[in-house]
Amino acid sequence: MTTLKRFQYLILAAGLTLTSCSSDDDATQNLTGDNNLRIEFDNSVNGDDLLLDSSTYTNSNSEVLTINRFNYIVSNFVLIDTEGNEFTYPKDDSYFIISEEADLSEVTLTNIPAGDYVAVRFGLGVDQEKYLQGAEGQGDLLQLAEETDMMWSWLAGYKFLNFEGSFTSPTVSEATDFKIHMGSHGSSLDNYKEFTLELPTNALVSSNLSPIVHLAVDANQILDGNTKILLSEKAVVMVDEVKSPQIATNAAAMFRVDHVHNGENIEH
């Protein structure tokens, strides 16, 4: 390469770098207005798609599961930007039921202020503050919970998780029903959990940018997480002072951000 051509190449490379940096800067500095942010929940079992009633899944306890229900409540969403500022979604609108059988798999957060968001925090279940507002303070959540079998009764409270099906194991040869229901039972057994998920790609919100955050949700974590829950020992877990908190901790670890899609959308 001649000296002149080498010089021309360096000038071109520098120009491309400046242009790229300028484009990135423009994308974040011109974030104004507000828009929606959508969160999609893709339910799976240890990397395989969750298919109700039709597939079997084997966990590390050598239990073979057929799943016919997988519902849970997510709530109290908070978005965190690059500066550490937090936007708390309005509490009265921040409770959603995800249900595989009812085809409820998305949460749409509306009127999110423009920003460059790096993490999302939310809860699994319904916090005591919300429950103590009484039946009249639950809004649409109460009716939807009743329709999707996410309540025991108003007195007993919400089911934060409803995980049901049948199983066999080395010690259980005939298919046996299992029911894993987890929730809070008064102030003495509060199983509501909050956690923060970092985004692999920043979610950009502006008047013409409406991102989608795609979560991979692994139902296998419920029984096969940090604490192993053996269905062959107890196939029905609803109110259990030992196992219910263990299941709550396991279930809180089933959420992972798979990817973020920053797309243009000016309708909000």
User: SS3 for the chain, per residue?
Assistant: CCHHHHHHHHHHHHHHHHHHHHHHHHHHHCCCCEEEEEEEEEEEECCEECCCCCCEEECCCCCEEEEEEEEEEEEEEEEEECCCCEEECCHHHCEEEEECCCCECEEEEEEEECEEEEEEEEEECCCHHHHCCCHHHCCHHHHHHHHCCCEEECCCEECCEEEEEEEEECCEEEEEEEEEEECCCCCCCCCCEEEEEEEEEEEEEECCECCEEEEEEECCHHHHCCCECCCCCCCEECCCCCHHHHHHHHHHCCEEEEEEECCECCCC
Task: Please check the confidence at residue 29 and state whether its pLDDT lies above 90.
Answer: no
Write down how long the chain is.
Answer: 268
- Give the model confidence (pLDDT) of 138-155 as tens digits: 999 999 999 999 999 888
Q: Cα(11)–Cα(6) distance, rounded to whole angstroms?
A: 9
Pair of tokens at residue 181: 């229901």
Among residues 128, 194, 201, the alpha carbon closest in space to that of 158 is found at 128
Average pLDDT rounded to a whole number, residues 207-233: 97
Q: Quickly state the pLDDT bin for 156 (edges 50, 70, 90).
A: confident
Task: Give the pTM.
Answer: 0.87
Count of CA atoms in the C-beta half-sphere (13 A) of 190: 13
- Give the model confidence (pLDDT) of 98-139 as tens digits: 999 999 999 999 999 999 999 999 999 999 999 999 989 999
Pair of tokens at residue 20: 């790229």
Instruction: Out of 19-23, 158-162, 166-170, 245-249, pick the least confident.
Output: 19-23
Task: Please check the confidence at residue 197 and state whether its pLDDT lies above 90.
Answer: yes
Task: Please check the confidence at residue 6 and state whether its pLDDT lies above 70.
Answer: no
Q: Quickly state the pLDDT bin for 22 (edges 50, 70, 90).
A: very low
Name, in order, each residue with C-beta under 8 angstroms of 186's C-beta and a sequence gap of 6 or more. Answer: none
Average pLDDT rounded to a whole number, residues 8-13: 43
Average pLDDT, the chain: 89
Q: Cα(161)–Cα(124) distance, rounded to whole angstroms?
A: 8
Among residues 74, 35, 11, 7, the alpha carbon closest in space to that of 205 is found at 35
43 in Cβ contact with 215 (< 8 Å): no
Confidence (pLDDT) at 265: 61
- Give the model confidence (pLDDT) of 240-262 as tens digits: 989 999 999 999 999 999 999 99
Task: Please check the confidence at residue 192 and state whether its pLDDT lies above 80.
Answer: yes
Q: Quickly state the pLDDT bin for 56 (edges 50, 70, 90).
A: very high
